[in-house]
Chain A
Amino acid sequence: MNLLRDINPVTRILGLILLTTPLLLSVDVVSAGVALAFTVLAAPFCGVSWGRLLRRGWPILLAALLAAIPMALYGRPEGETYAQFLFAHVTDNSLQLAAAIFVRVLAVGLPVIVLSADVDPTDLGDGLAQVLRLPERFVLGAVAAARLVSLFRDDLDSMRRARRARGIADQGRIRYFLTLAFGLLVLSLRRGAKLATAMEARGFNRVAEHGRTWARESTLSARDWIVMAVCLVVSVASIGIAVSVGSFRFLGVA
């Protein structure tokens, strides 16, 4: 089941902003926890099963841990001290902040995974240009470039094999990766140039003078507004709950 099927991709972006921006106001476990619980519970209904959420979301889990550990060690010492060495103090307050940061990174990061799943770049481009009125040449260029990313991997594999076959892959690791990165940059620029030529060959160079039409109309329907409303309600409610239980901490200070 996927409640987000056929919604405008712009709604996904706006919904993401509505859902996560208010969470940046407070550093506490409760507000982020409520939003995170909503995201996790809603994910299977948005076409992202828990298995898929874990598979695509593990880097965010890792980032959350990496953000939380320094907070536990160096967060402003307050309350009981559990451990101490050099400048590190593990205290009640620092642990609390660490937990809050951990949950918050997940609460902001996982909705990105859920809302960005299965977005077709062409639909996104239609939405960005027609609904948000971003400049059309910029949007179309970005959409076309997004498709090139998938060719990146193939290029990289071929380049690695070519370097090995030519007997120059035994050199130092750093130098190897630097030359590989530079080669990839050159190839990407060339691919980009070829794609630009192909686009111009189909009349893209005339868009600047007279604009263009869109084969598919992109509009916001009632469902789009409902999705955005739900996102806003969840974020406001999570802040409200945090305030009412007294755990709201503006930017982690108070």
Chain B
Amino acid sequence: MAPLVEARGLGWRHASRIHPALSGIDLTVRRGERILLTGDSGAGKSTLLAALAGLLGDEEDGDQAGTLTVRGTVGMVLQDPDSQVISSRIGDDVAFGCENLRVPRDEIWPRVRRALDLVGLDLPLDHPTRYLSGGQKQRLALAGVIAMGAELILLDEPTANLDPAGQTEIVEAVEAVVAETGAALIVVEHRPHLWRAMMDRFLRLESGTTGTAGTAGGSGGGGSARLVETTADDLPSLPVLPAAPGVPAGTRSLVEARELQTIWGPPRTLDLPAGCSTVLTGPNGAGKSTLALTLAGLLPPEGGRLHYSEDLRQGLRKAPHAWTSRQLADRIGYVFQDPEHQFVARTVGEEMAVSGGDPDRIDELMTRLRLAHLAEANPFTLSGGEKRRLSVATALVNAPTLVVLDEPTFGQDPGTFTELVGLVRQLTADGVTVLSITHDEAYRHALGDHEVVIR
């Protein structure tokens, strides 16, 4: 039987870029094969998946090189759970792909029910999609792909935005689906250990030239990439990071919350020890972000007591949510979950300068966070890792005493991950107090001097 996918010398260059995002790829995928695809950020993994799924567009969008033959239906699940929900009811959402493939109406609903069953979404067909958790949304997207009868299922970092329970859900669902349908599978993932047990082939996409220097337009470096066959043992593993040292005896609290009532969840009592790294964990929807925003003066408390030490208040008497924006920024830096929400300027350089920080400090931060060569680039065109580094850099511009990070390692490759951990350690060594919301076990291990678990 002819292979499902045959690519020879496949390449793609986005219309707005000088260098190709992908070039010289040879790939054969047989039916039922399960492939784990790894590679550094910017190596072109997502572009390769998009090419296989037929999502790269036409001549207007870019130039294709080489040949690509796909013999069968392809379905793809993307990284961000929120942006791939299409309908307001789960049954309609799963049916969407079937309708587009002209499946007759009588056949659609049995397919929808079977697909929901396979991914373990045991909910009524008219259940509103907006009440689904992140893991459920990813399983819903997977069900939509199965219902289409996909012979090749492509997953682009499907667990990147999920808590550990959600990650397990999606891996188990995928395993059940490929066992039942015999579909071929290609998974791109920064955390391959979740998937290695069920895979029978491991590929690594290596970019021909390293680094992305000189591309003012952001990521997507030049050179020709190679697909290399590897084994499960060669999978990139997280570097072993030293365990968090804990809180030294006698450390005073920078922030004290007593029975603090936020707009969401029960009252919380906790301390942030000065000059230490605190991690805040708990399931999706427990109210971690709301709590962190309240602790950082960005949401008014509904009740209880929130006390800042003089080191943090620096003479201000009012409650923190009543401070001016300027006063707040000089004391507390906040790194939001979605970096794009933070960007206000046209270039990386302007983005750093917009809050009026000391130019020397800005230069130093841009060098330390490897942003100097991107000074002229538009923040929105950066790669995921670059966006994250920029959002951290902007939060540090005004030399705050307290830094809060909301899930800083979401969707980051091991390189950026290690870099972030090192950066936070550097901050606490300089006496800055850090609070991080995280789901990540490795992050908690390395930075949990003090741990707060909420539910």
Tally A-B pairs: CB < 8 A. 151
In the complex, what residues of B have CB within 8 A of residue A121's CB? 88
Within the complex, the shortest CB–CB distance from B88 to chain A, in Å, comes to 6
Asked whether A120 and B341 contact (CB < 8 A) given A167-B355, A168-B354, A190-B380, the answer is: no
Within the complex, the shortest CB–CB distance from B242 to chain A, in Å, comes to 30
Assess whether A155 is in contact with B328, with CB atoms less than 8 Å apart.
no
Assess whether B102 is in contact with A210, with CB atoms less than 8 Å apart.
yes
* Interface size band for A: 35 or more
Task: Mark A142-169 against chain B: 1 for CB-CB distance below 8 A, else 0.
Answer: 0110010011000100110111111111
Closest to A159 in B: B341
Closest to A203 in B: B100
Q: Interface on B for A, CB 8 Å cutoff?
A: 53-55, 75-78, 80, 82-89, 91-92, 95-105, 108-109, 112, 130, 141, 144-145, 148, 293, 296, 298-299, 324-326, 328-330, 332-334, 336, 338, 340-344, 354-356, 380, 394-395, 398
Assess whether A165 is in contact with B148, with CB atoms less than 8 Å apart.
no
The 8 Å CB contact of B87, one of A122, A186, A190, A213, is A122
A214: interface (CB < 8 Å) = yes
Within the complex, the shortest CB–CB distance from A173 to chain B, in Å, comes to 13
State the majority secondary structure of interface residues on A: helix
Closest to B76 in A: A201
Assess whether A169 is in contact with B344, with CB atoms less than 8 Å apart.
no
The 8 Å CB contact of B130, one of A150, A155, A159, A162, is A150
Assess whether A201 is in contact with B380, with CB atoms less than 8 Å apart.
no
Assess whether A170 is in contact with B325, with CB atoms less than 8 Å apart.
yes
A6: interface (CB < 8 Å) = no
Q: Interface on A for B, CB 8 Å cutoff?
A: 120-122, 143-144, 147, 150-151, 155, 158-159, 161-170, 179, 183, 186-187, 190-191, 194-195, 197-207, 210-217
Assess whether A147 is in contact with B341, with CB atoms less than 8 Å apart.
no
The 8 Å CB contact of A213, one of B76, B108, B296, B324, is B108
Assess whether B102 is in contact with A158, with CB atoms less than 8 Å apart.
no
Assess whether A202 is in contact with B325, with CB atoms less than 8 Å apart.
no
Assess whether B344 is in contact with A122, with CB atoms less than 8 Å apart.
no
Assess whether B336 is in contact with A158, with CB atoms less than 8 Å apart.
yes
Q: How far is the CA of A169 from the CA of B324 in the complex (A)?
A: 8
Q: How far is the CA of A168 from the CA of B350 in the complex (A)?
A: 13
In the complex, what residues of A have CB within 8 A of residue B298's CB? 161, 164-165
Assess whether B340 is in contact with A197, with CB atoms less than 8 Å apart.
no
Assess whether A202 is in contact with B148, with CB atoms less than 8 Å apart.
yes
Q: How far is the CA of A150 from the CA of B99 in the complex (A)?
A: 25
In the complex, what residues of B have CB within 8 A of residue A183's CB? 343-344
Assess whether A167 is in contact with B330, with CB atoms less than 8 Å apart.
yes
Assess whether A187 is in contact with B340, with CB atoms less than 8 Å apart.
yes
Closest to B342 in A: A162
Assess whether A215 is in contact with B100, with CB atoms less than 8 Å apart.
no
Within the complex, the shortest CB–CB distance from B236 to chain A, in Å, comes to 26
Assess whether B83 is in contact with A195, with CB atoms less than 8 Å apart.
yes
Apart from A164-B298, A166-B329, list 17 A-B contacts with CB within 8 A.
A155-B341, A162-B336, A162-B342, A165-B332, A166-B344, A166-B394, A169-B325, A170-B325, A186-B380, A194-B80, A195-B86, A201-B53, A201-B75, A202-B145, A204-B96, A213-B103, A216-B105
